[in-house]
A and B are shown apart, each in its own frame.
Chain A
Amino acid sequence: MIGLRDIHKAFGPKKVLQGIDLTVPKGESMVIIGGSGTGKSVLLKCILGLVVPDGGTITLDGQDTAQAERDAFLARFGMLFQGGALFDSLPVWQNVAFRLLRGSLRKPAAEAREIAISKLRRVGLKAETADLYPAELSGGMQKRVGLARAIAAEPEIIFFDEPTTGLDPIMAGVINDLIREIVVEMGATAMTITHDMSSVRAIADRVAMLHDGTIRWTGPVSGMSESGDPYLDQFIHGRAEGPIEAVR
């Protein structure tokens, strides 16, 4: 279980997170929604330790993550980055098997390659893709490779940062379905950040809305339409008019 208590983060005078309280139970798929620049990515990065929060406590299974042994902590996570963040200098299979080729999870290269190819198949890519370089792939294929890398070491927790950004609606639907299938199949805890409502409906068990640095609303995905929260209502219906100020 991931617990966030009173998380604060500012960059200079800009206060991005102003007291985030959120709990993500084990095995649940939580989707965090919110407008651009509301701090969704910063929140994920705070949990992973990529950004150090100014205040508050983050716990994983009740243990303060600031006190956790770093490698063991990170070994429990997989992450799909917004742009894929594939390593340009490595072929696809070495990207997918990156964790399996070094460190505590190290395996012989042939075995790591086999695992990489099986994960590539799982995300709908052919074995021939394994020897290509990231620059030779389309945006959708890069997302799939990023997804394969995120699940290669079979992590307990997977983070998805804007998984469908930049994809056409059909490819976005394919990625959404893949994410849902993989999370259910692995029994993983998932945290996804997105402002794509079709992703929310396809991926989420629960939804949290981030606005003005705090969690504005949280509840089951089925309860979004009847939330009665004007902010959430405006966001999910994509209205320009409402309590959320839209810059024109």
Chain B
Amino acid sequence: MSRALSLLAALGRSVMAFLAAVGRVTIFAAQAISHIFRPPFYPKELGQALLSVGYFSLPVVGLTAFFTGGALALQIYSGGARFNAEAVVPRIVAVGMVRELGPVLVGLMIAARVTSSIAAEIATMKVTEQIDALVTLSTHPMKYLTAPRVLAGLIAVPVLVGIGDVIGVMGGYMVSTGRLDFNPATYLQNTVDFIEAQDVASSLVKGAVFGFLAALMGCFYGMHSGRGAQGVGRATKASVVAAAVLILAANYLLTELFFSA
């Protein structure tokens, strides 16, 4: 009986800890959003964050999308051949990249590259008292560190997703026309004909949400880092895991929202 009660108590503590964490993240997100709209603004920090999140992520996003588009074309061709449906390759590559793989892969690459970098940078600033120094210099850390990075995630990641979608489709096109003997003009025509405005809109909205989540998790775990090198390491690891899981969960919810009948 007492063992059952202690198990129940442990379960209760876990649930309470989870709910408390959700509450802390929600409050942090609300503060981050409110600081985006309230002065003072730091355009130089926003510019640097846009470069870091957007421009410097282009190579990794481009390569990921290109190889995924190519592999997708090979897989669909191979699978479609089982029931003589090879012709669907351009359509499925297009819809698969734009609706799902483009936003999700870009989101996960941003979580790996940007979330970890933000969390490590802010956590290091915290353990070396740079955050305290900001406060004593009359600068709000949420405004100076969090708001520009979160806004950069919101702006830059949809653009990266758009570019990733195009490069992914082109990866499928190059493999299909180079390796699988598809007619280039027909392939492109099929792609353009099959993509709808809603596909593109969902892709960009997913990009904005994923960018927000990735930057937010980096800032949240950085700001709440423990002491020393171990604290920075834990914050970085936790931020990437949380961002990746939230991106995948948000992807499901957004897909339900856009495409459920």
Residues of A near any B CB (own CB < 8 A): 45, 48-50, 70-71, 74-75, 77-79, 81-83, 85-88, 98-99, 102-104, 149
Q: How far is the CA of A75 from the CA of B128 in the complex (A)?
A: 22
CB of B135 within 8 Å of the partner chain: yes
Q: How far is the CA of A77 from the CA of B132 in the complex (A)?
A: 13
| Known A-B contacts A75-B138, A102-B40, A102-B139; A45 and B128 likewise in contact (beta carbons under 8 Å) | no
Q: Are A103 and B136 in contact (CB under 8 A)?
A: no
- CB-based closest 6 A-B pairs: A85-B133, A85-B129, A74-B138, A79-B136, A81-B129, A85-B130
Q: Are A50 and B128 in contact (CB under 8 A)?
A: no
Q: How far is the CA of A46 from the CA of B177 in the complex (A)?
A: 68
B18 — which chain A residues lie within 8 A by C-beta?
none
Q: How far is the CA of A96 from the CA of B124 in the complex (A)?
A: 20
CB distance from A112 to the nearest CB of B (A): 13
Q: What are 20 inter-chain pairs, A to B, with CB distance below 8 A?
A: A49-B135, A50-B136, A71-B138, A74-B136, A74-B138, A78-B136, A81-B132, A81-B133, A83-B128, A85-B128, A85-B129, A86-B130, A86-B133, A87-B125, A88-B124, A98-B139, A99-B138, A102-B139, A103-B139, A104-B138
Q: How far is the CA of A203 from the CA of B125 in the complex (A)?
A: 29
Please count the residue pairs between chain A and chain B whose beta carbons lie under 8 angstroms apart in the complex.
48
Checking A79, A103, A104 against B133 with a beta-carbon cut-off of 8 angstroms, the contacting residue is A79
Q: Are A85 and B40 in contact (CB under 8 A)?
A: no
Q: How far is the CA of A74 from the CA of B139 in the complex (A)?
A: 10
Q: Which of A49, A70, A87, A149 has the most CB of B within 10 A?
A: A87
CB of B194 within 8 Å of the partner chain: no
B137 — which chain A residues lie within 8 A by C-beta?
74, 98-99, 149
The closest CB in chain B to the CB of A103 belongs to B138
| Known A-B contacts A102-B40, A103-B40; A45 and B132 likewise in contact (beta carbons under 8 Å) | yes
| Known A-B contacts A75-B138, A102-B139; A87 and B40 likewise in contact (beta carbons under 8 Å) | no
Q: Are A50 and B132 in contact (CB under 8 A)?
A: yes
Mark each residue of chain B from 157 to 180: 1 if its CB lies under 8 Å from any CB of chain A, else 0: 000000000000000000000000
CB distance from B219 to the nearest CB of A (A): 15
CB distance from A24 to the nearest CB of B (A): 17
Mark each residue of chain B from 110 to 137: 1 if its CB lies under 8 Å from any CB of chain A, else 0: 0000000000000011001110110111
